[in-house]
C-alpha cells in the first residue's frame, strides 16, 4: 500500500533499487545532491543535474520535462554518502522563471522497479518559490528511509544549492541553465497547467498562444509565431491581479449573530467561472478538514474510554458492585459528551456547507452543472472553452446527503477509465456484467457529450472504437445526430485505422513542437482536441493496438489527444503486468457509487458518484442537436 506522506513525515524503504517519479504541470529540472553523514554536499561533483546526469548510484533525467523518472541504486552509492536530496527547479525563461505557486502542485513518488508505489508526496503550499527540495533519502543505522521535505526557495536554484552548503552554488546553477539553453535538456513543451485551486496564476506570466478551432491565429487574426500548441483557457490575461474574494463579514453577514449567508462566487478569480471553481474546491477542503476533526475527536474519545475502563477495572476490588458500575457509567458519560460535542461541531459545519451548496449549484455554468440543472435548458454552443468540467460528485458517510462536485481543469491532463467490472448495486446486490457494462457506457457517453457541448464549434472531436458493437445502443444520441461517426472499417480493421491515425497525429505534433515549428503543420491538419472513446477493451485489440493505446495514454494529453476507456481490468488480465502502466495513467471512475477516491490532505475515502442523465430526460438529445446545428452553420 502506498504511504501518502505529508511534509516532514518519513517512511522506510524496503528495497535499494528504486525509481523516483516526478509529475509536474510544467517542465521542471530534476536533480539530486549527495550528502555525507552531516548532510554536507562537498562540491559540484556531488550533484547530478541535466548537464551531468549520472553519478554512482543515481541517474537523473537529461532534460526538462513535466514527468521524470530518476533511477536510484542505494547499494551502489559511495560509502561516504548518507543522504540523497531530490531537487526540482523551474527553468529560466525570458522575463524570469515561473513560480511553483502558479502551477499545479508537483507530485514525487518513490516506486520499485516494477512500478509499485512505496511512498507519495504532493508538494502543496508553494507560492513564490521557483526551486524546491522535494524528498530526502537518508541512511539511519544501516537502513534507508525517505522523508517528505517540500522546502521551497524564492531565490531559485542558486539559493537552493547554497542552502545545501555549496560554495559555488551560483556557478553550478548557471551551468545547469546553460545546459538547458544548449539543448542538453530538451523537453517536449506541454500545455501550461492551470493554477492549483485557490492559488492564482502568476500575474507576470506571459499569455500563451492558443491553437484551437481558430488554429494558429494570433488575437489580431494573423498567423501566430512558432511555439507549442496550447489549449489554455483564454480568459486569463497577463499583467493583472485576480479580483479579491468578497468579504463575507462586510457584504452578507447576518444581523442576528448567525453565520454569514453564503454567496455564489465568493472566492478569488478572474471571472465568475473561476470564482465558482475555487469556491467548490474550498468547500471540498472544508468538508475534508471538518470530517477529519470529527473522526479524530471520536478516536480520542474511544481511546480515552478504553483507558478509563482499564483503570477502573485494574483493581479487582472495584470490578464488581456499585463502585465499578459508577466508574463505568462515568467513563461512558464522558465518552458520550465528547462524541456529542464533536458531532455538534460537524453538524454545524456541514449545515453551513449545505447552505453554500444550495446557492452554488444553481450558479454553476453548464460545464460544471448537473444534467438536471435548468442551465441546460437555455444551452447554446459556447464561444470559448471552459476552465473546468464536472466528472461527478463526492461525499462522505458522516455528511450525507451533502455532496461536492468533482471538478477537473481542462484540457484533461489524464485519460479517464470507467470501470465496467462487477460492482455492488442497491442493497449490496452485485450487478451482473451486462448491467455494469451498460451503466459504464451510459456514463462514458454522458461525459463525451459534456466535453463536446462545452467547447466551441470545431475545437473538440469525439471518435469511437467499439469493435464488437456492444455499445451501439448507448451511442445512439451521438451517432443519430451525426455529431460522431463510427469508423468506416469494422472490427479489428477499424481499430487499426483509428489508432494509426491518432498515433500519427501525436507523432506529427510532437515533431513540430520539438522543431519549434508548430505553425508549419499541414494545411489540412485538424487542430481540434480529440477524444477517443474506447468500449469493451480489450476485445478486438491485438498487441499492436494495445501498444498504441498505451502510447496515446502517455503522450496524447500533451498534444490534445485524450482517452476515455470503458473496460473491466480483469478482462485484460491475459496481458499480465504489461497493462499496469496503462491503468495507472488513467483516472478510474465507476458507473455506480464507489468509495475509491482519496484526498491528498487527510486520506479520506470519498464516495464517487457519476454525473448521469436523469431517467427519461431528453437533455442529451437537445444538447447534441444544438451542437450539430452549430456545426452545420459553421460549414
The answer for residues whose C-beta is within 8 angstroms of residue 260's C-beta and 6 or more apart is 248, 249, 252, 253, 254
Supply the pLDDT for residue 417.
94
Above 60 in pLDDT, residue 38?
yes
The share of the chain scoring above pLDDT 90, in percent, equals 39
**pLDDT of amino acid 406:** 95
The answer to whether 248 and 263 have CB atoms below 8 angstroms apart is yes
Task: Compute CA distances 148 → 71, 134, 151, 392, 473, whole Å.
Answer: 18, 7, 9, 31, 49
The mean pLDDT value for 83-98 works out to 79
CB half-sphere exposure, 32, CA atoms < 13 A: 31
**Angle, CA 590 vertex, CA 585 and CA 594 arms, to 5°:** 115
Query: Looking at per-residue confidence, does 607 or 434 come out higher?
Result: 607
DSSP state of 49: B
pLDDT given for residue 539 in this prediction: 85
pLDDT value at 183 more than 80: no
| φ, ψ dihedrals at 212, nearest 5° | -140, -130
pLDDT tier, 360 (very low <50, low <70, confident <90, very high otherwise): very high
Per-residue cell: 476? 445512439
Split at pLDDT 50, 70, 90, the class of 307 is confident
Instruction: Say whether pTM exceeds 0.75.
Output: no
Tell me the HSE value of 4 on the side-chain side, using a 13 A CA sphere. Answer: 10
Cβ atoms 398, 290 nearer than 8 A: no
CA 451 to CA 627: how far, in whole Å? 11
Looking at the predicted structure, is the pLDDT value of residue 566 above 90? yes
Distance CA 106, CA 97 (A): 16
Q: Which of 94-98, 257-261, 308-312 has the lowest mean pLDDT?
A: 94-98
Please check whether residue 480 is in contact with residue 623, taking contact to mean a CB–CB distance below 8 angstroms: no
Report the C-alpha gap between 283 and 357 in whole angstroms: 8
Extract the C-alpha cell encoding 299. Answer: 478516536
Rounded to the nearest integer, the mean pLDDT of the chain is 82
Percentage of the chain lying above the pLDDT 70 cut: 84
The Cβ of residue 436 has, within 10 Å, a number of other Cβ atoms equal to: 23
**Could you identify the residue written with the cell 537552493?**
160
247 pLDDT higher than 50: no
Question: How many other C-beta atoms are found inside a 10 Å radius of the C-beta of residue 540?
Answer: 20
How far is Cα of residue 74 from the mean position of the Cα atoms in its chain? 30
Task: Band the pLDDT of 498: cuts 50, 70, 90.
Answer: very high
More confident of the two residues 230 and 137: 137
Residue 435 pLDDT > 80, yes or no? yes
List, for residues 196-239, the tens digit of each pLDDT value: 333 333 333 333 322 233 333 232 333 233 333 343 333 433 34
> What pLDDT, on the 0 to 100 scale, is given for residue 236?
39
Model confidence at 126: pLDDT above 70: yes
What SS3 state is found at 453?
helix
Residues paired with 119 in a beta bridge: 3, 110
- What's the pLDDT score for residue 207? 32
**What is the pLDDT at residue 199?**
31
Pick from 474, 468, 471, 472: nearest CA to 541? 468
pLDDT at 503 over 90: yes
Contact 75, 16 (CB under 8 A): yes
Q: What is the pLDDT of residue 633?
A: 85
**Where residue 181 falls among pLDDT bands split at 50, 70, 90?**
low
Amino acid at each position: 500500500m502506498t504511504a501518502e506522506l505529508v511534509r516532514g513525515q518519513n517512511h522506510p524503504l524496503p528495497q535499494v533499487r528504486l525509481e523516483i517519479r516526478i509529475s509536474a504541470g510544467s517542465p521542471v529540472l530534476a536533480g539530486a545532491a549527495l550528502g555525507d553523514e552531516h548532510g554536507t554536499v562537498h562540491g559540484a561533483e556531488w550533484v547530478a543535474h541535466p548537464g551531468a546526469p549520472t553519478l554512482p548510484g543515481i541517474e537523473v533525467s537529461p532534460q526538462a520535462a513535466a514527468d521524470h523518472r530518476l533511477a536510484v541504486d542505494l547499494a551502489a552509492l559511495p560509502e561516504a554518502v548518507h543522504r540523497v536530496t531530490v531537487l526540482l527547479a523551474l527553468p529560466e525563461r525570458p522575463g524570469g522563471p515561473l513560480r511553483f505557486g502558479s502551477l499545479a502542485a508537483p507530485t514525487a513518488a518513490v516506486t520499485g522497479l516494477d512500478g509499485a508505489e512505496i511512498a507519495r508526496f504532493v508538494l502543496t503550499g508553494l507560492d513564490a518559490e521557483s526551486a524546491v527540495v522535494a524528498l530526502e533519502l537518508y541512511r539511519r543505522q544501516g537502513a534507508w528511509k525517505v522523508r517528505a521535505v517540500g522546502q521551497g526557495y524564492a531565490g531559485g536554484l542558486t539559493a537552493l544549492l547554497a542552502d545545501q552548503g555549496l560554495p559555488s552554488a551560483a556557478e553550478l546553477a548557471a551551468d545547469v541553465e546553460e545546459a538547458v539553453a544548449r539543448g542538453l535538456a530538451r523537453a517536449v513543451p506541454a500545455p501550461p497547467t492551470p493554477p492549483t485551486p485557490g492559488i492564482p496564476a502568476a500575474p507576470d506570466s506571459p499569455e500563451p498562444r492558443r491553437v484551437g478551432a481558430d488554429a494558429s491565429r494570433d488575437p489580431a487574426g494573423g498567423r501566430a509565431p512558432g511555439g507549442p500548441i496550447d489549449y489554455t483557457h483564454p480568459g486569463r490575461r497577463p499583467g493583472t491581479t485576480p479580483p479579491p474574494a468578497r468579504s463575507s463579514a462586510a457584504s452578507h453577514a447576518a444581523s442576528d449573530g448567525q453565520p454569514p449567508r453564503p454567496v455564489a462566487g465568493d472566492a478569488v478569480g478572474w471571472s465568475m467561472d473561476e470564482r465558482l471553481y475555487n469556491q467548490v474546491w474550498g468547500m471540498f477542503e472544508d468538508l475534508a478538514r471538518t470530517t477529519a476533526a470529527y473522526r479524530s475527536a471520536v478516536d480520542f474519545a474511544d481511546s480515552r474510554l478504553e483507558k478509563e475502563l482499564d483503570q477502573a477495572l485494574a483493581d479487582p476490588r472495584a470490578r464488581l458492585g456499585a463502585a465499578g458500575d459508577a466508574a463505568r457509567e462515568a467513563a461512558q458519560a464522558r465518552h458520550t459528551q465528547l462524541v456529542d460535542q464533536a458531532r455538534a461541531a460537524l453538524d454545524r459545519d456541514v449545515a453551513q456547507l449545505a447552505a453554500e451548496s444550495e446557492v452554488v449549484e444553481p450558479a454553476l455554468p453548464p460545464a460544471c452543472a448537473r444534467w438536471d440543472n435548468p442551465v441546460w435548458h437555455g444551452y447554446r454552443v459556447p464561444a470559448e472553452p471552459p476552465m473546468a468540467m464536472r466528472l461527478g460528485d463526492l461525499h462522505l458517510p458522516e455528511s450525507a446527503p451533502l455532496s461536492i462536485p468533482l471538478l477537473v481543469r481542462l484540457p484533461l491532463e489524464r485519460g479517464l477509465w470507467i470501470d465496467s467490472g462487477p460492482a455492488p448495486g442497491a442493497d449490496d446486490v452485485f450487478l451482473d456484467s451486462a448491467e455494469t457494462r451498460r451503466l459504464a457506457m451510459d456514463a462514458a457517453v454522458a461525459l463525451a457529450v459534456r466535453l463536446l457541448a462545452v467547447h466551441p464549434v470545431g475545437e473538440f472531436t469525439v471518435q469511437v472504437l467499439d469493435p464488437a458493437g456492444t455499445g451501439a445502443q448507448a451511442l445512439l444520441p451521438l451517432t443519430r445526430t451525426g455529431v460522431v461517426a463510427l469508423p468506416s472499417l469494422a472490427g479489428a480493421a477499424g481499430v487499426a485505422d483509428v489508432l494509426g491515425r491518432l498515433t500519427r497525429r501525436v507523432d506529427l505534433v510532437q515533431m513540430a513542437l520539438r522543431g519549434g515549428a508548430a505553425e508549419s503543420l499541414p494545411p489540412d491538419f485538424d487542430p481540434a482536441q480529440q477524444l477517443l472513446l474506447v468500449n469493451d477493451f480489450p476485445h478486438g485489440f491485438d498487441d499492436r493496438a494495445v501498444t498504441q493505446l498505451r502510447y496515446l495514454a502517455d503522450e496524447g494529453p500533451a498534444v490534445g489527444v485524450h482517452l476515455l476507456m470503458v473496460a473491466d481490468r480483469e478482462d485484460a488480465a491475459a496481458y499480465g503486468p504489461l497493462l499496469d502502466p496503462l491503468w495507472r495513467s488513467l483516472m478510474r471512475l465507476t458507473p455506480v457509487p464507489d468509495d475509491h477516491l482519496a484526498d491528498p490532505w487527510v486520506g479520506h475515502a470519498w464516495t464517487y458518484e457519476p454525473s448521469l442523465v436523469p431517467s427519461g430526460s431528453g437533455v442529451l438529445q437537445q444538447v447534441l442537436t444544438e451542437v450539430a446545428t452549430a456545426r452545420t452553420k459553421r460549414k
